[in-house]
Amino acid sequence: MNAIDAAELRRRTRDLLAAHPPADTEPADFLKARFDAGLAWVHFPAGLGGLDAPRSLQSVVDAELAASGAPDNDPRRIGIGLGMAAPTILGFGTDEQKRRFLRPLWVGDEVWCQLFSEPGAGSDLAALGTRAVREGGSGANGEGGDWIVNGQKVWTSSAHLARWAILIARTDPALPKHRGITYFICDMTAPGVDVRPLRQITGEAEFNEVFLTDVRIPDAHRLGAVGDGWKVARTTLMNERVSIGGARLPREGGMIGPVSRTWRERPELRTHQLHQRLLALWVEAEVARLTGERLRQQLAVGRPGPEGSGLKLSFARLNQEISGLEVELLGDEGLLYDDWTMRRPELVDFTGREAGYRYLRSKGNSIEGGTSEVLLNIVAERVLGLPAEPRDDKDVAWKDLAR
């Protein structure tokens, strides 16, 4: 058994850098070479961007590459692909799917989006009503035939840029809602996919509505077994929450940064009441940052804790309270807004715009990726082991549920 250790990874990283010096290599070419060397995500299998090495050793590669000025893929731009589609394809995809999709995803050649939420299925995602019906095929139940998808999805970031989507659709309405769902990879350029901007509270359209009308998906683009879509989707959702709470921050690195700077530079705005609130929030922001650091250290030694879902809750509340305080601190300026022009930003930059934008955008933090109320239930039931909410939808066919 030749286990790959830190020294071996360091050697391979240096070989990569020697063969493709970052200064003389196109960033995209470097990223492709890095993937092919198995240094993209070292815990992935060999040939799929990894080397079957322990996940904790990725930091060895990252440190070497960062020190050499090597280009990185932009994890914010391709976050859904990297953070959600990739682990799901790795966990449930066929060999052919893994070979087809992972490399362009990691390099950033192909942007991904997520077709999960629907107007009638948000927090209660498993209630979704988008239908996929099998057509043709050679088997008795149409096995092997294409799927025809009809329905409407919502809150889809990057849909207007995406080449591919992960999609869940209902394939058997006669089963209870968690069971008749199947997971697909949807070609966003296929006929019948209609992407429309969804203008939101900030004035811009960061998200989209996606209308699916007779969209044809080959059975080869199904991920996991027919009817197993909920199980597959849970892998995606778990990774979504980790990636939402997971960014590493320096001190004052989040929302507390701009308001602290304003406080230091504008003594005329200070009041005692705001001072008390600012200090209390500064402490909470610093403690949330340390909690994230502790979670990363736990992951690095292979002892992940359940703190991830907690961090998302903490940051959602803090972002809202801090940005609300910032608008108040600005007084007359807080009455103004920088720009209501309808835009379609490629990246969501939570802190780059002004206080009013931060205040409004942060309202989404407690809704997107699971509402705070639902996450508190999950913490209570899965982490603390408290009894589950009583429910009457578990054994009822989806078609018979109230809508």
Partner 1 sequence: MSTLDDAPDLLYSETEDDLRAAVRSLLTGRGDIPAALDRAESGAPYDTALWTSLAAGIGAAGLLVPEPLGGQGASHREAAVVLEELGRAVTPAPYLTSSVIATHTLLGCGTGDGGAVAKLLSALAEGRTVAVLAVPLSTGPDAPLPDTAPGAAIRAVADAAIADVLLVIGHDGLYAVETAAPGVTVRAQTPLDLTRPLSTVTVDAAALTAGTRLADAGTAEAAVRSGLLTGAGLLASEQLGLAEWCLEETVRHTRERHQFNRPVGSFQALKHRMAQLWLEVVSARAAARNAADALATDSSGVPLAVAVAQAYCGRVAVHAAEECVQLHGGIGMTWEHPAHLYLKRAKSAEIALGSTGSHRERLAVLTALPAPGRPTA
Binding partner 1 (rule: CB under 8 A), the pick from 138, 341, 387, 403 is: 387
Cα distance between residue 23 and residue 171, in whole Å: 51
Q: Residue 213: name the closest of 132, 139, 136, 277 by CA.
A: 132
With a CB cutoff of 8 Å and minimum separation 6, the contacts of 70 are: 17, 22, 30, 34
What are 388's two structure tokens? Answer: 């589950």
Active site residue 240: yes
Q: How many Å is the Cα radius of gyration of the chain?
A: 23
Q: Closest distance between partner 1 and the C-beta of residue 54, in Å?
A: 10
Q: What is the 8-class DSSP label of residue 247?
A: -
| H helix and E strand count, the chain | 12, 8
Binding window for partner 1 (CB under 8 A); candidates: 16-24, 27-35, 171-179, 387-395: 387-395
Binding window for partner 1 (CB under 8 A); candidates: 20-28, 175-183, 236-244, 289-297: 289-297
User: Most distant CA pair in the chain: distance in Å?
Assistant: 78
Q: Closest distance between partner 1 and the C-beta of residue 273, in Å?
A: 10
Binding partner 1 (rule: CB under 8 A), the pick from 36, 271, 304, 338 is: 271
Give the burial class of 241: count Cβ atoms within 10 A of its Cβ; 0-12 exposed, 13-18 middle, 19 or more buried: buried
Instruction: For residue 367, state whether it binds partner 1 (rule: CB under 8 A).
Output: no
User: Which is closer to partner 1, CB of 139 or CB of 390?
Assistant: 390
Binding window for partner 1 (CB under 8 A); candidates: 9-17, 112-120, 170-178, 273-281: 273-281
Binding window for partner 1 (CB under 8 A); candidates: 54-62, 107-115, 173-181, 212-220: 54-62
Do the Cβ atoms of 168 and 92 come closer than 8 Å? no
Instruction: For residue 385, state whether it binds partner 1 (rule: CB under 8 A).
Output: yes
Cα distance between residue 203 and residue 199, in whole Å: 6
Binding partner 1 (rule: CB under 8 A), the pick from 1, 7, 335, 388 is: 388
Instruction: For residue 266, state whether it binds partner 1 (rule: CB under 8 A).
Output: no
Residue 374 Cα distances to 158, 167, 309, 362, 402, angstroms: 25, 22, 11, 18, 20
User: Which is closer to partner 1, CB of 225 or CB of 283?
Assistant: 283
Residues labelled catalytic: 240
User: Rule CB under 8 A: which residues touch partner 1?
Assistant: 56, 59, 62-63, 260, 263-264, 267, 270-272, 275-276, 278-280, 282-284, 286-288, 290-291, 293-294, 297-298, 300-301, 305, 307, 310, 313-314, 373, 376-377, 379-381, 383-390
